[in-house]
Amino acid sequence: MRIGALSRETGVSPRLLRYYEEQGLLTSHRGEGGHRRYDTDAPVVVRRIRTLLAAGLPTKVIKDVLPCASGSGEVLDACTLGHLRDRLSGLEEQLAELQATRDSLAALVATTEEEATKQKAA
């Protein structure tokens, strides 16, 4: 399968497919004329990559996880659980930090509004 066909089948641009290849996530072989040729399972691999990216995994982690993936990529083999749990834990920490920041900002807005109201009344 050539890069254009893979792009059409997956909806992923050729530029992005080349990037996946540079990152070691996707492999190609050079055919006649030096054109990239992908194995028949390449569309499945690209879908797995897209699923993992959508889940917030960086390409460095995807490179480690991808060999453990099977099927469409929506369900992964158990060997990926450590990476997935680590990423989920990191996201939960970020969410907690964002919530604390939001609460601080909301309190600041509230006190500023109260002060502004007092100054108008005076």
User: In 55-85, which positions are buried (b, 16+ CB within 10 angstroms) versus exposed (e)?
Assistant: bebebebbbebbeebeeebeebeeebeebee
Residue 67 is given by DSSP the state: G
**What's the gap between Cα 58 and its chain centre?**
6
Which range (31-45, 55-69, 74-88) has the least confidence? Answer: 74-88
* Degrees, nearest 5: CA angle 60-12-79: 35
Q: What is the mean pLDDT of residues 40-65?
A: 91
**Domains assigned to the chain:** 3-121 (1.10.1660.10)
Tell me what pLDDT residue 22 has.
96
Tell me what pLDDT residue 71 has.
67
Prediction pTM value: 0.72
